[in-house]
Amino acid sequence: MSFFKKLFGGGSASQEPQGDKVLGEESYKGFQIKAIEMKAGSELQLAGLIEKEIDGETKSYRFIRADRMSSVDDLIALALSKGRQIVDEQGNGIYR
């Protein structure tokens, strides 16, 4: 029976994917930069989200980098720093 539940999508609601777990965030030049949790085995991989409201619509840009670390604090600092760098280099161009 378990096989058919997996095959046809039956089962409990707890198996549905959850949203990104935000570890830290900051506002920068009108953008909202968020460090998000992305596990890679026993480590965390650098990932983040840059959001901005444009014409009443929230635009999102997700970035993932190869850097991996075990410290959550280091991950947050680096993800926010990388987000600021992307905003400085590309600005609204990330939403094209």
**Fold of the CATH domain 20-95:** Double Stranded RNA Binding Domain (3.30.160)
Contact 32, 54 (CB under 8 A): no
Judged by DSSP in three states, 32 sits in: strand
**Model confidence, pTM:** 0.78
Upper half-sphere CA count for residue 84 (Cβ side, 13 Å): 10
Q: Where are the domains of the chain?
A: 20-95
The pLDDT profile of the chain, 96 residues, written as one tens digit per residue, is 566 556 666 555 444 445 789 999 999 999 999 999 999 999 999 999 999 999 999 999 999 999 999 999 999 999 999 999 999 999 999 998
| Interacting residues of 13 by C-beta distance below 8 A, sequence separation 6+ | none
